[in-house]
Structure 1
Amino acid sequence: MRLSVIVTGATGMVGEGVLHECLQSHEVERVLVLNRKPCGVQHPKLTEIVHSSFHDLKPIEQQLSGYNACFFCLGVSSVGMTEAAYRQVTYDLTMHVASTLVRLNPDMVFTYVTGMHTDSTEKGKSMWARVKGKTENDLMKLPFNAAYMFRPGYIHPTPGLHNVHKYYKYMTWLYPALRRLFPKYALTLRELGQAMIHAAMDVPDQRILEVPDIVRLATGKQG
């Protein structure tokens, strides 16, 4: 099977890294990037749609069918946001995009980047973790072929890419020690992208993937 992939969030660090892996992969036949501003990447198998509002996809719906995977990498920090505002740009936006895509592509595999310590009970003290937990839970209820929740910790950036968070330049030198001492908390952006591709290709049973699961899946191994 060859993958036809939709990628969101390609103007951010995670999305750019996942897009990079898709463009390098022989398993990925074509990629549609859905952005609110141009990502600045050009490639023979890449198509880009710049659309201002992910809460209203009707004007571009006809261009969103015919895909069998979505790598949803769009996200914002909750710092300084009220729960209502964070929910709107996290839960509401994600569910609208996912509901549209599953209606147009019922055989799609949907992968969603959340975060370590996401709260599946939706009842904890951490606001962002509750909102992410509800987003995860409701995504897994949609009738996709499969939906995977990726919960990375520290993500080591891919060399040569552009959208790296500023503070990472002060942390990258620590990565070898972090990976050795705390392997449950650190992975590379390349591993994250490779694991998404393998999830879409192989459709493993496990739906919520923590760092060790993502690293293992990146090698093509399950369980």
Structure 2
Amino acid sequence: MNRTAVVAGPTGLVGAQLLQRLLHDPAYREVRALTRRPLGVRHDRLRELHTDYAQLDLLGDALAVDDVFCCLGTTMAVAGSRAAFEDVDYRMVVDLARVARHAGAQQFLVVSAVGASRHALAFYSRVKGRMEAAVSQLDYAAVHILRPSLLLGERAQSRPAEDLAQRLAPAIAPLLRGPLRRYRPVRGADVAEAMLRLALRGEPGVHVHHLPLRDGG
């Protein structure tokens, strides 16, 4: 029990599930949660780091951990504009990766999205692709990029379009086979579990993963 971790986005669909897994995994002695407000969670291994992501440099050595888990993300509808969306899904993610690596973090794991590409037609996918390229260029011992499709699970914040998609998912998922399997909806809990599994593998290099994970990644 000697690993340390930082979780960005600990109140989101994936982040909340991941935080609980990390706090109960014997491999981790301390888990630091980046949050704008108190989480209301009590645990001997939990340390809250309050930040609005505008001055991450002020956190200093608090970001010097073994594993950085980034679960930040929004949607165009929630963000309200392209600029606001890009601020969360690109600027905040890349700033965290850069500052944490400078502090001494060794491994960066981030939730992206299926179809992410700098050359995609969709703005959403292009931003995700640019983020992936930026974090991959930092000199981490390992970078793991997870590309889930539609995330299933209860969110604290209502997203009407995603709520409708979740209701339709059980009928659509069986039709997505072969190369289309990666577009199947996936539970937020399964993404959290995949992030933890990948972190503990200790596999160096830059890796892109579609879900569900296969035995080899």
TM range (shorter): 0.7 to 0.9
Deviations 1:147-186 (CA, angstroms, capped at 9, x unpaired): 11111112232xxx77374657766666655554435312
Contact 1:111 1:148 in 2 (8 A): yes
Percent identity between matched residues is: 25
Residue type matched to 1:87 in 2?
E
State the shift of 1:110 in Å: 0.4
Contact 1:18 1:189 in 2 (8 A): no
Residue type matched to 1:130 in 2?
R
Whole-angstrom distance in 1 between the partners of 2:59 and 2:139: 22
Q: 2:133 aligned to 127, 134, 137, which one?
A: 137
Q: 1:129 to 1:61 in 2, by over 3 A?
A: same
Residue 21 (str. 1) matches residue 21 (str. 2): yes
Please, what TM-score do these two structures have when normalized by structure 2? Answer: 0.83
Residue 202 (str. 1) matches residue 201 (str. 2): yes
Q: SS in structure 2 opposite 1:207?
A: strand
Deviations 1:20-71 (CA, angstroms, capped at 9, x unpaired): 22123223332100111222222121111112x3121233213222x10011
Residue type matched to 1:194 in 2?
E
Contact 2:143 2:206 in 1 (8 A): no
Q: 2:156 aligned to 160, 163, 177, which one?
A: 163
Q: 1:173 to 1:90 in 2, by over 3 A?
A: closer
Whole-angstrom distance in 1 between the partners of 2:55 and 2:18: 24
Q: SS in structure 2 opposite 1:139?
A: helix
Residue 127 (str. 1) matches residue 126 (str. 2): no
Whole-angstrom distance in 2 between the partners of 1:19 and 1:37: 15
Contact 2:22 2:28 in 1 (8 A): yes
Q: Point out where structure 1 has 5 or more consecutive residues left out of the alignment.
A: none
Q: SS in structure 2 opposite 1:26?
A: coil
Whole-angstrom distance in 2 between the partners of 1:102 and 1:20: 24
Alignment of 1:62-211 (within 5 A): 62-65=61-64, 67-79=65-77, 80-82=80-82, 84-106=83-105, 108-119=106-117, 122-157=118-153, 163=156, 165=158, 167=160, 179-182=173-176, 183-184=181-182, 185-204=184-203, 207-211=207-211
Whole-angstrom distance in 1 between the partners of 2:27 and 2:56: 28
Whole-angstrom distance in 2 between the partners of 1:118 and 1:172: 21
Whole-angstrom distance in 2 between the partners of 1:173 and 1:144: 39
Whole-angstrom distance in 2 between the partners of 1:179 and 1:25: 31
Q: SS in structure 2 opposite 1:70?
A: strand
Q: SS in structure 2 opposite 1:75?
A: coil
Residue 4 (str. 1) matches residue 4 (str. 2): yes
Please, what TM-score do these two structures have when normalized by structure 1? Answer: 0.81
Q: SS in structure 2 opposite 1:153?
A: coil
Q: SS in structure 1 opposite 2:76?
A: coil
Residue type matched to 2:68 in 1?
C
Q: SS in structure 2 opposite 1:93?
A: helix
Q: Point out where structure 2 has 5 or more consecutive residues left out of the alignment.
A: none
Residue 222 (str. 1) matches residue 198 (str. 2): no
Q: SS in structure 1 opposite 2:199?
A: helix
Aligned residues: 208
Q: SS in structure 1 opposite 2:54?
A: coil
Whole-angstrom distance in 1 between the partners of 2:202 and 2:173: 27
State the shift of 1:88 in Å: 2.6
Q: SS in structure 2 opposite 1:48?
A: strand
CA RMSD of aligned residues (A): 2.5
